Amino acid sequence: MRPRLSFEWLHACSGCEIALLNSGELLLGLLERVEIVHFPLLMDHKYTNRADGEGELNLPEAEIGLVSGGVASEEHLAVLRAMRARCRTLVSLGTCATHGGIPALRNQWPIATALKTVYAGPEEGTPIPDTVLASLDRVYSIDEQVPVDVSLPGCPPRPESIIELLEALLAEESFHLPCKSVCETCPTIRTGKGQQKVRRFLANAEYDPEKTVAEMRCLLEQGLLCMGPVTAGGCGGKDAPLCIRARVPCRGCYGPVRQGGNQLLDMLNALASNGMGHRDIVDRRSLLRFSGAHGLLKPLRERK
Amino acid sequence: MNSQPKIIAFCCNWCSYAAADLAGISRLQYPGSIRIIRVMCSGMVHPEMVLHALNKGADGVMIIGCPLGECHYIKGNEMALARAEVIADTLEDQGFDSERFQVAWVSSAEPERLAEIFREMSARLAVLRGTPQVEAVIGD
Amino acid sequence: MNQVISIHPVTRIEGHARIDIHLDESGQVCDARVGIAALRGFEQFVVGRPAEEIPRIVNRICGICPWMHHLAAVKAIDGCFGVTPAPAGHLLRELCQVLAHIHDKILHFFFLAAPDFVLGPAGDYAVRNIMGLVRQEPELAAQVVRMRQLAQMMLERFAGKAIHPVAGVVGGFAKPMREEERQGLLADSRILLDFASSALDYAKNRVFSRFCDGLQSLGTITTGFLGTVDHQGALRLYDGQLRLMRPDGTTVDFPANEYERYLAEQVEPWSSAKMVYARSWGEGFSLDPNAPRGVYRVNTLARINVCDRIATPRAQAELEAFREQFGRPAQGTLLYHWARLIELVYACERTLELLADDRITDPAVRIPATPRAGRGIGHVEAPRGTLIHDYSTDDNGCITRANLIVGTTHNIAPMNLSVRQAAASLISAGEVDDEMLNRIEMAVRAYDP
């Protein structure tokens, strides 16, 4: 019997699923060796018997379950728990699942405030739709709600990494992301002494477009905020990180280097320790834009 | 139950720790609930250590290093100052009153000043204790 | 006996949805609703952020069409800061935008929609999907997978990231195109264009020919349409005037920054997705299936209905043939699939046109911007429909307010009408089977929500 794979997506954008499809022929090869038993994007397996709209979630058993997206509603929680119960190995796929991701930015505000902003109508007191009222108090990562066996961060994860992970699981081998921080594979020129002021990204970095990335000066040393030092590496495989290839600084989309790390504290600390202007940063809380779960982003208290 | 605020004080080996030793020998009085942790330089205290202490229940955290210009490692205390700014800026974000963190510069020959600083911090935190408790952040 | 039949989740769509069909005592359909239960709250959490960071945040609204949100936001922020991008910046942005349309359309037609047509709407669900297509037509499937991957890799090779892009920046683009990159992209674009033409031929022979009746009737309703055209009334995906068409075919053109005069948002308690209706028609909004008011559609069928012509030759020929057969405007909901493939041909031809423009390798790709208070409205045609990003900034250049109308939002009301129509035409006397339910889902899938 071929191993069974089950996919679900919660508070997600579908980028991780598209990344999987971007692996192209690698995926076709994998498909011959597995059986996909549930995958709402691609196949018509449903949650419930149609006769009775409610009832238990009818998720099939599977050897490997992949779940993308954070947890933000009662329904997400129910689907996640069902996946944990039916899948032997549960993978949290993508930064939303592992650390909350961009949607966890909402944690900076109480849920009631966010709802009011989104549904603000021309008249006072536009009603909030009933369906939305089943929101949880904040956006959670998957591991805050159920035990997780494997985490693969990334926004999105690299297609090759998803395939490698699946291959490793099928062979019952362990899988690790190839490198610690983004800087590890970044080929830019670092002299150890750079700009002291940190400026906003309102003009392009300095580089010669006819030359390679390896001949460009490190963006952080150029005075641009680059979160490479505090972000898990691997987005470009063994080659230059993807945003650096676009000549654009890193914003930390793979989450912290360590599982429990705090990208805001780490980044400010890195700047301060190197004599760079950590107070130049406008909107420092967005340093947690990818890792706002685990209680790291929360509404500011009223100061008495 | 200990009624005094629990304070973690990171003290640099070359100055404030030495001052604390001297304070002990001189029988200077300061609250017994101050927990001193010796570090080789105030500059090695990562902001996460401060946050960790607060999350685990410390009422306050202090970093006490050598006066600027007198660092045993030349510039370690400058780094401590920069890092202390980071902590001060972000403490409110994390849900803690800014009074719960203090950085100070004390030389090894100033035991009375050290004791005074400890007493003042303890008194400040005792006042804060009367205010609603801040919820600790899950995990670290 | 009153009954509710639920389809949950709706599958082979690019998001989360459910369909609830209400039957009355005699088993007739008395209501049907498409529920989309996703609320992220982007309009809240962009507030307070430096505006130039927004394009890298709002791209995460959607992992299938992130370039659309990325570029609509970039255009809006240009407006907030009062900066006119360098010409090469515009060309590079449009190039990436139409390239992004290509992978999206291949994904939707072959991976999501085609299984219903090629493998049959009544097939076993375990077979009626892309995996089944791979088994039944391995060569076609392999080619489809390769072409889709090619389009994505072209974006990644040039712009760093294909999914959740970062290269669109206020004032232009983050990096210029080198001549060597351009030649490589030209060669790949020709391959894509050939594939697009053969995909449309395949669809006409193997797909549309087998479903002639269904193409005109399943989920078909009568609505207006909204799309984008250039100054000569030709289809344009990146920029231009918005054109709103009434059901009778009459049109009005307006710039995106006047959208609030023509369109209005409506909140219904049973839908977490807001709805939009044509305020300027002066008839209000109603989802009554016998007398809908204010309802218009967006997305592929709408765009080819509102445009007078398409400015690239192969797509124009296909449009003429389509109009001869179905008229203008064409209302058949399943015709969205046909229109999607015509647009695929246009996107490939437009890619070649842009790459052939010598200005595209100009190294001056970005004008530096200065933060300031302002308001900017940026729009593009996303695969899913007209996308509008509206931002206001304070003196520090940080966002104070945001309003986003995403492509699918315009289609929420029409989707509900189509599902109601499909359910009512298929279900009677309370008898329901899996094939009927799948056909009802097909009425939703055509909209590619």
SS3 per residue for chain B: CCCCCCEEEEEECCCHHHHHHHHHHCCCCCCCCEEEEEECCHHHCCHHHHHHHHHCCCCEEEEEECCCCCECCECHHHHHHHHHHHHHHHCCCCCCCHHHEEEEECCCCCHHHHHHHHHHHHHHHHHHHCCCCCCCCCCC
Pick C166's closest partner by Cβ from A11, A75, A243. A243
Is C448:C257 a contact under the CB 8 Å cutoff? no
A94-A95-A99 Cα angle (round to 5): 135
Mutate to test the interface with A, among C21, C23, C45 (most CBs of A within 10 A): C45
Confidence of residue A55 (pLDDT cuts 50, 70, 90): low
**How many Å is the maximal CA-CA distance in chain A?**
68
- Chain A residue numbers with beta carbons less than 8 Å from the beta carbon of B137 are 295-296
How much is the pLDDT for A193?
Answer: 83
B136 part of a folded domain: no
Nearest to B86 among A272, A300, A301 (CB): A272
A300 touches chain C (CB under 8 A): no
Residues linked to residue C293 through DSSP beta bridges, in sequence order: C286
Close Cβ partners of C434 (under 8 Å, ≥ 6 residues apart): C122, C125
Consecutive H or E run containing C387: strand C385-393
| Range ranked top by mean pLDDT from A132-141, C3-12, C112-121, C181-190 | C181-190
DSSP, res C177:
P
What range defines the domain where residue B90 resides? 7-129
Residues C34-61: pLDDT tens digits? 988 778 899 999 999 999 999 999 999 9
A176 and chain B in contact, CB less than 8 A: no
> What confidence category does residue A219 fall into, taking pLDDT thresholds of 50, 70 and 90?
very high
- Asked whether residue A147 carries a pLDDT value surpassing 90, the answer given is yes
pLDDT of C212 > 90? The answer is no
Backbone angles phi and psi of A300, in degrees to 5 = -70, 140
> Are A22 and C62 in contact (CB < 8 Å)?
no
Q: Chain C contacts of A113, Cβ < 8 Å?
A: 44
Query: How does the average pLDDT of chain A come out, rounded?
Result: 91
Whether A153 has a pLDDT exceeding 80, the answer reads: yes
* Chain A nearest CA to C363, separation (Å): 8
> What percentage of residues in chain C have a pLDDT greater than 70?
99
- Does A212 contact chain C (CB < 8 Å)? no
The CA distance from A147 to the nearest CA of chain C, in Å, is 24
**Predicted pLDDT of residue C96:** 98
The verdict on a CB contact (< 8 Å) between A265 and B79 is: no
What pLDDT is attached to residue A304? Answer: 45
Residue A56 tokens read as 């238990």
Q: Report, as an integer, the average pLDDT of C406-415.
A: 94
Residue A144's contacts (CB-CB under 8 Å, 6 or more residues apart) are A71, A293, A294, B138
| Residue in C closest to A116 by C-alpha | C44
Q: What is the pLDDT of residues A155-177, one digit of tens each?
A: 999 999 999 999 999 999 988 87
What percentage of chain A reaches a pLDDT higher than 70? Answer: 93
Residue B138 has pLDDT above 60, yes or no: no
- Euclidean distance between CA atoms A137 and A133, whole angstroms: 10
User: What letter does residue C110 receive in the DSSP assignment?
Assistant: I
CA C271 to chain centre: 20
Q: Is residue A131 less than 8 Å (CB to CB) from chain C?
A: yes
Contacts of A201 (CB under 8 A, 6+ apart): A224, A225, A248, A249, C52, C53, C169
Which tokens belong to C222?
Answer: 């009568």
**Chains B and C touching, counted as 3 or more CB pairs less than 8 Å apart:** no
Q: What chain B residue is nearest to A272 in terms of C-alpha separation?
A: B82
Least confident of A108-112, A129-133, C74-78, C286-290: A129-133
Assign 3-class secondary structure to chain A: CCCEEEEEECECCCHHHHHHHHCCHHHHHHHCCCEEEECCCCCCCCCCCCCCCCCCCCCCCEEEEEEECEEEEHHHHHHHHHHHHHEEEEEEECHHHHHCCHHHHHHHCCHHHHHHHHHCCCCCCCCCCHHHHHEEEEEECHHHCCCCCEEECCCCCCHHHHHHHHHHHHCCCCCCCCCCEHHHHCCCECCCCCCCCCECCCCCCCCCCCCCHHHCECCCCCCECCCHHHEECCCCCCCCCHHHHCCCCCCCCCCECCCCCCHHHHHHHHHHHCCCCHHHCCCHHHHHCCCCCCCCCCCCCCCC
State whether residue A295 sits within 8 Å of chain B by CB.
yes
Local confidence band at B139 (pLDDT 50, 70, 90 cut-offs): very low
Q: Is residue B23 part of a domain?
A: yes
Residue A285 contacts B, CB cutoff 8 Å: yes
Neighbours of C88 (CB within 10 A): 21
State in Å, rounded, how far the first CA of chain B is from the last one: 26
Closest Cα in chain C to A31: C131
Q: Which residue has the higher pLDDT, B129 or A253?
A: A253
pLDDT at C336: 95
Of C8, C405, C62, nearest in space to A12 by CA: C62
User: Which pLDDT band, with edges at 50, 70 and 90, does B137 fall under?
Assistant: very low
Q: Kindly determine whether residue C60 and residue A127, on different chains, have CB atoms separated by under 8 Å.
A: no
Residues of chain C contacting residue A129, judged by C-beta atoms under 8 Å apart: 267-272
Answer whether residue B133 shows pLDDT above 50.
no
Does any domain span residue B99?
Answer: yes
- A209 with C156: Cβ contact below 8 A: no
Contacts of B18 (CB under 8 A, 6+ apart): B108
| C398 close contact with A: CB closer than 8 A | yes
Residues B108 and B69: beta-carbon distance below 8 Å: no
Does the N-terminal peptide bond of residue C165 adopt cis geometry, omega within 30 degrees of 0?
no
pLDDT at position A124: 62
CB contact under 8 A, C149 and A25: yes
**Pairing outcome for strands A35-38 and C224-229:** unpaired
CA A126 to chain C, closest CA, distance in angstroms equals 8
CATH of the domain at B26: 3.40.50
pTM for this prediction: 0.94
Residue C336 burial (CB count, 10 A): 24
3-state class (DSSP) for residue C418: helix
**Confidence at residue B140, expressed as pLDDT on a 0 to 100 scale:** 32
Residue A121 confidence class, pLDDT cut points 50, 70, 90: low
The rounded distance, in Å, linking the Cα atoms of A100 and A108 is 12
Q: Are A241 and A216 in contact (CB under 8 A)?
A: no
**Which pair of structure tokens corresponds to residue B126?**
């005792």
Choose among C145, C164, C438: nearest Cβ to A44.
C438
Assess if residue B44 is contained within a domain.
Answer: yes
Q: Select the residue of C11, C57, C441 nearest A289 (Cβ to Cβ).
A: C57
Beta-bridge partners for A7: A66
Which pLDDT score is estimated for A131? 73
Say yes or no to pLDDT of C431 above 50: yes
The mean per-residue pLDDT over the stretch B3-27 comes to: 93
Residue A179 is predicted with a pLDDT of 66
What residues contact residue C130 under an 8 Å CB cut-off, 6+ apart?
A: A42, A43, C110, C111, C112, C115, C141
Tell me which residue in A262, A278, A284 faces B48 most closely, judged by beta carbons. A262
Nearest-5° Cα angle at C400, C398 to C404: 105
Residue B57 lies in a domain: yes
Q: How confident is the model at residue A275 (pLDDT cuts 50, 70, 90)?
A: confident
Domain assignment present for B63? yes
User: How confident is the model at residue A49, as a pLDDT?
Assistant: 57
Which residue in A98, A262, A276, A291 has the most chain B C-beta atoms within 10 A of its own C-beta, making it the best mutation to test that interface? A262
Query: Is the confidence at residue B4, as pLDDT, over 90?
Result: no
C14/A contact by beta carbon, under 8 A? yes
Which is higher by pLDDT, A192 or A293? A293
B24 inside domain: yes
pLDDT at A303: 54
User: For residue B1, what pLDDT band results from cuts at 50, 70 and 90?
Assistant: very low
Q: Is the pLDDT of residue B136 over 50?
A: no
- CB contacts of B79 in chain A (<8 Å) are 272-273
Rg for chain C, CA atoms, rounded:
21
Distance CA C283, CA C268 (A): 18
- Compare all CA atoms of chain B with the CA of A293 and give the residue at the minimum distance: B138
| Chain A residues in contact with C178 (beta carbon < 8 A) | 209-210
DSSP state of C178: P
pLDDT for residue B134? 44
* B134 is a domain residue: no
Minimum distance, in Å, between the CA of residue A285 and any CA atom of chain B: 8
Do residue C11 and residue A46 have CB atoms under 8 angstroms apart? yes
User: 3-state SS string over B57-88?
Assistant: CCCEEEEEECCCCCECCECHHHHHHHHHHHHH
Per-residue model confidence as pLDDT tens digits over C342-397: 999 999 999 999 999 999 999 999 999 999 999 999 999 999 999 999 999 999 99
Between chains, do A300 and B93 touch, taking CB under 8 Å as contact? yes
Interface of C with A in 29-88 (CB under 8 A): 35, 37-41, 43-45, 47-50, 52-53, 56-57, 60-64, 66
Set of chain A residues whose Cβ sits within 8 Å of the Cβ of C13: 41
**pLDDT tens for residues A125-135?**
677 887 776 78
Share of chain C above pLDDT 90, in %: 87
| Measured distance between the N- and C-terminal CA atoms of chain C, rounded to whole angstroms | 32
Domain count, chain B: 1
| C389 CB-near residues (< 8 Å, 6+ apart) | C58, C69, C72, C73, C75, C76, C377, C378, C379, C402, C404
Residue C208 has a pLDDT of: 85
The residue in chain C having the minimum alpha-carbon distance to the alpha carbon of residue A125 is C267
Chain B residues interacting with chain A (CB cutoff of 8 angstroms): 46-48, 51, 79, 82-83, 85-86, 89-90, 92-93, 95, 131, 134, 137-140
Q: Which of residues 17-76 of A touch C (CB under 8 A)?
A: 17-19, 21-25, 27-28, 31, 36, 40-48, 50-51, 53, 72-73, 75
Cβ-nearest to B92 among A268, A273, A300: A300
- Average of pLDDT values for B88-102? 88
The pLDDT, as a whole number, for residue A50 is: 52
Chain A residues 133-152 with a CB less than 8 Å from chain C: 135
